[in-house]
Amino acid sequence: MIKILSIQNARDLPIRGSGDLAQYENVVAPILRAVREERDAALLRYAREFDGLAEAPLLVSEGELADAAKRLSPEICQAIGTAASNIREFATAQMPRELFREFSPGRKLGWIVRPLEAVGCYIPSGRYPLPSTVLMTAVLAQAAEVPRVCITSPKPSLEILGCAHLLGIREVYRVGGAQAIAAMAYGTETIARVSRIVGPGNVYVSTAKKLLAGEVGIDFVAGPTEIAILAEEGDPRVIAADMLAQAEHDVTASAMLITTSRRLAEAVSTEIEKQLQTLPTADVARQSIERDSAIFVVPNTEIAVDVVNAIAPEHLSLHDAALLPKIQNAGAVFLGAGSPEAAGDYAAGPSHVLPTSGVARLRGGLTPADFVKIISVQQLSPSALQELSPAITALARAEGLEAHARSVEVRFVQ
């Protein structure tokens, strides 16, 4: 049974840990070191030990990719096409635009946008293989015009392989875990290094990304998935279904309802139990519901919003659209009772790769901006430089950097 907790303000929230990755560093660090030093030899050793690679090659052949695509059902092919089209359309709209203009006479400033040279997409394929994550990562990189996009997945399913082929991705590797992250970060004889690694994974993947951040770009370190639903009224069946949709991901997932209505809280609790009786994934969902999920009953709407902003949830289902201006922290918002989080998981358009464990206080979800560099450009006329000269030279000399000051003044010496 899900917990129903009465809280008076956001400070009363129980602390939910993001998962202590430090305990996994002693396992992951030697794997990273071995792949950096031994390259393919270590990568193959770990892939056979942890991923069940056996004697299969790391790189999936183009023939196998094409064959997988042919074996997909028409319904799956159509679904991939619909989702890819919507994701690409939204990503194109999100792309940063270049600018170069005169801000004051002779002072032209702006920026250019350049794609990263290579991106690695980590695609989970454990309890639930996720071809949707291929779409939610690779399509954004393609929209950003990244010239090389590769995929690593420990046991890529037919759907993952077929989806990659339909997107035109020909570089798919049968390797996962920390060893895959190390290979993409450092490079091996088989897998060339990438500029950024994106995509969710288990604690070993997250720990590897954490340790390698700086060596390679990452999106963020992912923790357990979560949803918060803010609803003061609504259909208990719909709310319960949305909570269970999140809970079935993993036993560590979290589904939360924030409401001012005790009656709604109790009705949703009852409905969760009812729906669990027929849910095929109930063995996972029930553990999530009983361990890390809760219904919070609060005194008023203002405190409900404070609770949401304190949680900074990965997914926020906001039933009252009028409250959107008050939302400060969320990975993605699903506005209105008719917008299920599952739509965002698959086909609505925005990426489902989102910050968890409170990281939504710092950033939103994955966008094409994660796959490009924004490079500033400056062009000064002699008169514009002369106008700035007093400020430049004064600041340079205040810092003891005389050559900086002289590099400006020399341009005006006859």
Which are the catalytic amino acids?
A: 314-315
Amino acid at 126: G
Q: 3-state SS string over the chain?
A: CCEEEECCCHHHCCCCCCCCCHHHHHHHHHHHHHHHHHCHHHHHHHHHHHCCCCCCCCECCHHHHHHHHHHCCHHHHHHHHHHHHHHHHHHHHHCCCCEEEEEECCEEEEEEEEECCEEEEECCCCCCCCHHHHHHHHHHHHHCCCCEEEEECCCCCHHHHHHHHHCCCCCEECCCHHHHHHHHHHCCCCCCCCCEEECCCCHHHHHHHHHHECCEEECCCCCCCEEEEECCCCCHHHHHHHHHHHHCCCCCCEEEEEECCHHHHHHHHHHHHHHHCCCCCHHHHHHHHHHHCEEEECCCHHHHHHHHHHHCCCEEEECCHHHHHHCCCCCEEEECCCCCHHHHHHCCCCCCCCCCCCHHHCCCCCCHHHHEEEEEEEEECHHHHHHHHHHHHHHHHHCCCHHHHHHHHHHHCC
- How many other β-carbons are positioned within 10 Å of the β-carbon of residue 368? 25
Spatial strand order in the sheet of 107-115:
99-104, 107-115, 372-380
Sheet-wide strand order for 148-152: 172-173, 148-152, 118-122, 196-198, 217-218
